[in-house]
Amino acid sequence: MLPLSLLKTAQSHPMLVELKNGETYNGHLVSCDTWMNINLREVICTSKDGDKFWRMNECYIRGSTIKYLRIPDEVIDLVKEDIQAKAKNRNQNQNQNRNNNNNQQNRGNKNNPNQHRPNPNRNRNNVNINKN
Partner 1 sequence: MENTAHLLNEIDKKLMILLRDGRTLIGYLRSVDQFANLVLHRAIERIHVGTQYGDMERGVFIIRGENVVLLGEIDREKEEQLNSKLTQVSVEEILDAQRREIESKQEKNAILRQRLKQRGINNNPLLEDNE
Distance (Å, whole) CA 100 – CA 110: 15
Q: What is the DSSP letter of 13?
A: S
Q: Tell me: does residue 30 bind partner 1 (CB under 8 A).
A: no
Calculate the CA 17 to chain-centre distance. 20
The answer to whether 72 contacts partner 1 (rule: CB under 8 A) is yes
Asked if 1 is part of the footprint of partner 1 (rule: CB under 8 A), the reply reads: yes
Q: Does the footprint of partner 1 cover residue 56 (CB under 8 A)?
A: no
Q: Does 63 bind partner 1 (CB under 8 A)?
A: yes
Residue 23, phi then psi, degrees to nearest 5: -65, 145
* Rg (the chain; Cα; Å): 25
108 binds partner 1 (CB under 8 A): no
Instruction: Name the site residues for partner 1 (rule: CB under 8 A).
Output: 1-4, 6-7, 20, 22, 36, 63, 66-73, 75-76
